[in-house]
Structure 1
Amino acid sequence: MTTTPEAVGSSPAFLQGVRVLDVTGALAGPYCTTILSDLGADVLKIEPVLGDRMRARRMGAERRSLPFDLIHRDKKSLAVDLKSPAGADIVRSLARRSDVLVENFSVGAMGRLGLGYEDLRPDCPDLVYCSISGFGQFGPMSDSKGIDLIAQAYSGLMSVTGSTDGQLAKAGFPVSDIGTGMWGAIGVLAALLRARAGFGGAYIDVALTDSVAAWSLWEVADYVATGVDPAPLGTAHRLAAPYEAFTCQEGDVLVLGAVDRAWDALCAVLEIDLSGDSRFATEYERFLHREPLAEIIQARFTTAPRAHWMAALRAAGVPCGPVNRIGDILTDEQFAARGLFVHDEERHGEPTIVNTPIVADGAPRARGHAPELGADTFAALAELGYDDEHITALVEDGVVGVPGPSSAEPRE
């Protein structure tokens, strides 16, 4: 059975009925809860009365914060001052009604507010509580600030990313933030299964540095086998060749991955005969001599346009693909068929929504936009039993916020 984006939504959402309390900022935490939201959970974002800092990050002339909109879509917003006793009480009450709480404050901050896992556990025995941080909740580095750039460097990723001449580079995407959000969501989903089976809640501790270091499978294998620290290889693979990018006629670039089973087909397409060269007789030999091999292949690719080579390589079963720019992927037919990027026709000039890449009946994916600051404050408090008079008093005292002039310009 093939599930298309058009067929999604005909069955109940995977996380229908799951309530998530989102006490996060920046990217890793919000991305975790966005995944849960796209899978159907009801996510309530807790943010400062003057707004999440990300709301102020505007790109271009549009007043709406595009980064905020992309990572807080389909959530609800409750603006509350967590540092006030009344504000902390509100969050405690919400936690009792929630299945999941995700936070990415600095280590120990939620505990100092009386909102840590152990603080909530007596009244919320089934709560799945996920903490996201730079280095984790324990260890000699736990108190250190962690951001994507630091995580990429500390985890070893930056030491193997870059050109062969030793020029280091970070990954173009914020991989530690995105990856940690994904690990957090995986942990939450697993813990929810256990909680629903009657075995109680769980505390989940995920870190940016752990998340990236956990991906170092090939590099660790290389180091253990040789005792030599792996170095940057540009676009080349650490264990196979040819497996890298090549420039075609007119400057277009493609990537190629021709392991043993595709080697003969590659040689036939490129019309090169290397059968008598012992340097390229086996996959391991080609890996050892990948630089001279790359020179031979590169010379052939410069003789024709990329479209010619990709058509011939694909017809022969050789793995290959174009090196796309961001503008290219937004208009790519394959991504369009998969529903990965959704253009909002109602808000002219607003960004494309970047979907969670899970296509399944029961995974509704992105459905709308981020909420206005405090858009759901009244509704959330009313559900807790607060009457209009009490809510109005909390607004006047600055404990909670509602949509209005105060939310127009969140602080930097």
Structure 2
Amino acid sequence: MMEDDKTAGRRPLEGIRVLDFSRVLAGPYCTALMADLGAEVIKVEPPAGDDYRHIGPFRGGDSLLFQSVNRGKKSVVLDLKSEDGAAAARALAAECDVLVENFRPGVMERFGLGAENLCAACPRLVYVSVSGFGQTGPNRMLPAYDIIIQAMSGLMDMTGAEDGPPMMAGDAFADVAGGMFAAFGTMVALFDRARSGRGRHVDLALYDSLVSMMPVAACRALMAGETPKRTGSKHALSAPFGTYGAKDGSFTVAVLNDRLFAKFAAAIGMPELAGDPRFASDSLRRQNEPALAQHIESWAAVRDVQSVAALLSEEGIPAAPLSSVPEAWASPQAQARELATPVTHPALGTLSVPEQPVHFSGAPRGGRQAAPELGAHTDEILQQLQKGEAK
């Protein structure tokens, strides 16, 4: 990096001000990504606070879940049902670049904070609406949590053991997908504003986001006329591509073509498998995966997971042991990539908090603030408004 590079030491979103009316997960995840990158995020909360302040796990009475997805923000308490609270929110919106909300359609309009009114009053404002099903369509008014979206998107129907019931994925992927696409939409609208001088209303649905996050399933349903079925921890279309048992646990392997399969067969001491007509192509290998799995697991049964993964990796075959979530976060790779960095909380001390994963040249990682106490910045922000110094 050149010493005179103007980007050195600067986070990409410094100078961008975000007014965040969102709560729970999807919207706050979106604005947390922006806060990580230097945006000033003003979180507007009702007097009782974001629901996530009251959901565990807890430490010392503070929600660690709230800490995770509201890092680096400022908290302002406003009662939007009151005339003064709504007026203060409108005044704040006029001083911000981005507004993010995740109420049901129509709620912000009732507060006098709808997109049409605010974007007319503030033409440069990027107004981001995050909801379960978007601002249009027959389901627009339905309540939606992550599990509802997983159920309706098809993800749950194709997740689980082949002979078992549908299963929910292990984390709130609909909310996270929505938060990611909301951040993406915000950045596109800001980029366009730099050229046009005008903001846009960004309409983001969790349902749309999760459906769009499954391109293989989409291809099979839309183009091939297929209905993806549950396949457990094995790939639906390729083999060997999944999880297999070893002496002390499970490992994963991913073989996607004939050349790699020949290398894999040689690596496990069974080169003849590459010439077996049952395994002559990727589709045939998937069709005959149970027979192939017997060969793989008979080889792995006398070996520990780490040695299996190491041997295959040395041969250039994608393979890995299964890790628990704590093992993944504590891994040397996660440490080297600084996926989590420390923040200091006035009551909880030092917390290791996730950080957005993209690395930008010249932009530092870490050095962030903990999530705010409820209303910690109310007086500061409102006083700035009264003095005309909000931005």
TM-score bracket, normalised by the shorter chain, equals: over 0.9
- Sort the Cα spacing of 1:58 and 1:340 in 2 relative to 1 into closer, same or farther, 3 A: same
Report the Cα offset of residue 385 of structure 1: 1.1
State the alpha-carbon separation in 2 of the partners of residues 240 and 370 from structure 1. 44
- Aligned to 2:25, which of 24, 27, 42? 27
Gaps of 5+ in 1: 2-8, 388-412
Residues 59, 348 of structure 2: 8 Å contact kept: no
* Cα deviations by residue, 1:374-406 (Å, 9 ceiling, x for unpaired): 11111111111169xxxxxxxxxxxxxxxxxxx
2: CA distance between counterparts of 1:71 and 1:220?
30
Amino acid of the structure 2 residue aligned with 1:163: A
What amino acid maps onto 1:236 in structure 2? K
Q: Quick check: 1:283 aligned with 2:282?
A: yes
SS at match of 2:109: helix
> CA 1:236–1:263 in structure 2 vs 1: closer, same or farther (change >3 Å)?
same
Query: What code does the residue aligned with 1:375 have?
Result: A
- Matched AA of 1:385: Q
Task: Report the counterpart of residue 225 of structure 2 in structure 1.
Answer: 227
Conservation of the 8 A alpha-carbon contact between 2:343 and 2:370: no
- 2:372 matched to which residue of 1? 371
In the TM superposition, what is the alpha-carbon distance from 1:183 to its structure 2 partner?
0.1
- Asked if the contact 1:40–1:364 (Cα under 8 Å) also holds between the matched residues in 2, the reply is no
1 CA distance for matches of 2:226 and 2:107? 41
| 8 A Cα contact 2:177 2:213, kept in partner | no
With over 3 angstroms needed to count, the CA separation of the structure-2 counterparts of 1:72 and 1:60, relative to structure 1, is: closer
Cα deviation code 1:264-294 (max 9, x no counterpart): 2211111112134201012222122222212
**Cα distance in 2 for residues equivalent to 1:143 and 1:193:** 31
Contact 1:54 1:67 in 2 (8 A): yes
Matching residue of 1:314: 313
What's the counterpart of residue 255 of structure 1?
A: 252
Q: Please list, as runs of the form range in 1=range in 2, the aligned pairs for 1:347-358 lying within 5 A after superposition.
A: 351-358=351-358
* Residue-pair matches, total: 379
| Contact 1:40–1:363, Cα closer than 8 Å, also in 2 | no
Query: What's the CA shift for 1:363?
Result: 4.4
Deviation string for 1:21-68 (max 9, x for gaps)?
000001000000011111111100000123222112232552211011
| Aligned partner of residue 232 in structure 1, secondary structure | coil
Letter paired with 2:48: L
8 Å contact 1:246–1:255 — kept in the other structure?
Answer: yes
State the shift of 1:302 in Å: 1.2
| Structure with bigger RCO (C-alpha 8 Å, 6+ apart) | 1
In 1, Cα distance between equivalents of 2:49 and 2:226: 49
1:27-46 to 2 correspondences below 5 Å = 27-46=25-44
Q: Which residue in 1 is equivalent to 2:107?
A: 109
Determine helix, strand or coil for the equivalent of 2:61: coil
Percent identity, aligned pairs only, is 37
Deviations 1:46-103 (A, max 9, x none): 0012322211223255221101111111111111101101100001001111000000
The 8 Å contact of residues 177 and 208 in structure 1, kept in 2 or not, is answered as yes
**In the alignment, does 2:331 pair up with 1:339?**
no
The one-letter amino acid paired with 1:383 is Q
Change (3 A) 1:60 1:54: closer
Aligned residue number for residue 328 of structure 1: 327
| Structure-to-structure mapping, 1:86-165, within 5 angstroms | 86-165=84-163
**How many Å separate the matches in 2 of 1:365 and 1:42?**
16
SS of aligned partner of 1:352: strand
Residue 204 of structure 2: SS of its match in structure 1? strand
Q: 1:66–1:350: 8 Å Cα contact kept in structure 2?
A: no
Query: Runs of at least 4 residues of structure 1 off by over 4 A?
Result: 343-351, 362-366
Higher mean C-alpha displacement, 376-385 vs 358-367: 358-367
TM-score by length of 1: 0.88
One-letter amino acid matched to 1:232: R
